Amino acid sequence: MGTSPAGNRPFDINSTSPLRTPTLSFTFIDKLFKMGGGGGKVPYPKHVWSPAGGWYAQPANWRGNTLIAGVVMAGIVAVTWKFSSEREQWAHRPEPGQWYASRHWSKQLKQWDAEDRENSTKSE
């Protein structure tokens, strides 16, 4: 493919030859643009911890890892829930008889409900 009469070099793009049109060899283009099947290897860590065990779908200890991660997440939720419920404040009393989920854990609503029960028994 397009080599110069003087040697095994690709033709220069700017050169003119009376016999043939200047062409470039594909190996020269490959070397020039470093072409080659999708690029280099992507670096990634070999050991990654995750609840499922890293890069592989079914490691030997996936159940234990999943259990540990679940217990840790449940503990974080429980601590956050307790912290929030202890500091919950209502600006006004809810309507009597209306149901709110907070009635089960809010100190303020429990106290108001107890006062309402006392007042209802006193008035009867």
Q: Is the model's pLDDT at 77 over the cut of 90?
A: yes
- Nearest-angstrom CA–CA distance, 56 and 50: 10
Instruction: Give residue 33's Cα distance to chain centre.
Output: 35
* Domain-embedded: residue 118: yes
The burial of 106, by beta-carbon neighbours within 10 Å (0-12 exposed, 13-18 middle, 19 or more buried), is given as buried
**pLDDT tier at 29, thresholds 50, 70, 90:** low
Tell me what the mean pLDDT of segment 78-103 comes to: 86
pTM exceeds cut of 0.85:
no
Report the number of distinct structural domains present in the chain: 2
* Domain-embedded: residue 24: yes
Report the range of poorest mean pLDDT among 29-33, 48-52, 57-61: 29-33
96 neighbors 120 (Cβ within 8 angstroms): no
Q: What tokens were used for 9?
A: 């070099």
Of residues 122 and 22, which shows the higher confidence score? 122
Which residues face 3 on adjacent strands?
A: 10
Question: Which positions ≥6 away from 93 have C-beta within 8 Å?
Answer: 112
Q: Which pLDDT belongs to residue 81? A: 93
Please report where in the chains the tokens 């690029």 appear, as a residue. 39
* Domain-embedded: residue 6: yes
**pLDDT tier at 4, thresholds 50, 70, 90:** low
The range of the structural domain enclosing residue 96 comes to 89-124
Q: Which pLDDT belongs to residue 86? A: 87
- Nearest-angstrom CA–CA distance, 107 and 114: 11
Q: Which pLDDT belongs to residue 55? A: 60
Question: Which positions ≥6 away from 30 have C-beta within 8 Å?
Answer: 36
